[in-house]
Amino acid sequence: MTRRDTRPRRRASAGRSVVAAACLMLASACSQTVSGDPRPEPAALTGTASAPAPAPAIVRAPGELVLPPERFPQPYVAVVLPPEAVAQAAPDLTGIQPGSRVDPGGCLPPAQDYGPESTAMVVGTDNASRATISVEVTRPAPDLAEYRTYLTECSQVDATVRGITSTVSTVLGDDPAAPLDGAGTLALTRTVDSGRGSGGMTQSMATRIAQIEDVRVTVTYMSFDAAAPDTDNLDRVFREAVDFAARP
């Protein structure tokens, strides 16, 4: 009879003993009580679905932000300007028409898109005095500090278009109180003297500007005589217009 070697069996038996001992040690450790309250595993570890990302904010067009005509005070009868009229009326507030040649050079107003996705206007008219209060909303608008710098550097400009030269003089005033927290503000007065001699005309403006992030609200009183501006209603419309543009 062949004699079998029993040593491999002893090695295997020893290996099983080591594994069994390790299992006993792990079982003993796992059976110990851990102090403290049980806590759920983080979602990243358990695979629990995270909360859905918030929906992107809806960017409202200027036409949705401009003050409605019915919010204008008496005696101003207001209308919303159609897009084609905005492109004509908005440059009047700067006193410098598109295509003008200006002196000093470089004092053309900052470029602006007058299309309905960027600019909206409503204009109220006092039919007795022919004075107007206009509300212009632009979006997106560059930082208000840039416009302040432009007004400082170009406080008097001669603008010539179609053979007629106008002198545009701008004076910065004290910044009006912000109608709401976080709004930057600016105030100015402006005269536009057009033509010469008896054919000349003077256009006078008082303007209040507020900017909330990328939305700029410009409210301007305009007249064609030397009468004092209607600052009470100008300031009232300014507050209303900024509040309306900033509403949720």
Structure confidence at residue 157 (pLDDT): 98
Q: Which amino acid is at 180?
A: L
Structure confidence at residue 80 (pLDDT): 98
Q: Give dist(CA 159, CA 122) in Å, integer.
A: 26
DSSP H/E element including 151 = helix 144-153
Q: Which two tokens stand for residue 18?
A: 């080591």
Q: Rounded to whole angstroms, what are the CA distances from 10 to 2, 5, 6, 7, 14?
A: 19, 10, 7, 5, 6
Structure confidence at residue 29 (pLDDT): 38
pLDDT tens per residue, range 222-234: 999 888 999 999 9
Structure confidence at residue 108 (pLDDT): 96
pLDDT tens per residue, range 146-168: 999 999 999 999 999 999 999 99
Structure confidence at residue 195 (pLDDT): 74
DSSP structure class, residue 149: H
CB 215 within 8 A of CB 137: yes
pLDDT tens per residue, range 34-90: 444 454 544 433 444 455 555 455 679 999 999 999 999 999 999 999 999 999 999
pLDDT of 30 > 90? The answer is no
CB 67 within 8 A of CB 210: no
Residues 6+ positions from 58 with CB-CB distance below 8 Å? none
Question: Once rounded to an integer, what is the mean pLDDT over residues 109-130?
Answer: 96
DSSP structure class, residue 195: S
Structure confidence at residue 227 (pLDDT): 86
Structure confidence at residue 182 (pLDDT): 87
**Hunting for tokens 């932000």 — which residue is that?**
65
Question: What does the mean pLDDT of the chain come to?
Answer: 83
Q: Rounded to whole angstroms, what are the CA distances from 223 to 34, 53, 220?
A: 83, 51, 10
Neighbour count for residue 228 (Cβ, 10 Å): 9
What contacts 24+ positions apart, CB below 8 Å, involve 222-230?
222/92, 222/93, 222/131, 222/132, 222/133, 222/134, 223/129, 223/130, 223/131, 223/132, 224/130, 224/131, 225/129, 226/202, 227/129, 227/131, 229/131, 229/204, 230/126, 230/131, 230/133
pLDDT tens per residue, range 184-215: 999 999 999 987 666 678 999 999 999 999 99
Structure confidence at residue 102 (pLDDT): 97
Phi, psi of 232 (to 5 degrees): -60, -50
**Hunting for tokens 């983080």 — which residue is that?**
42
Structure confidence at residue 53 (pLDDT): 53
Structure confidence at residue 200 (pLDDT): 78
CB 240 within 8 A of CB 148: no
pLDDT exceeding 90 applies to what percent of the chain?
69
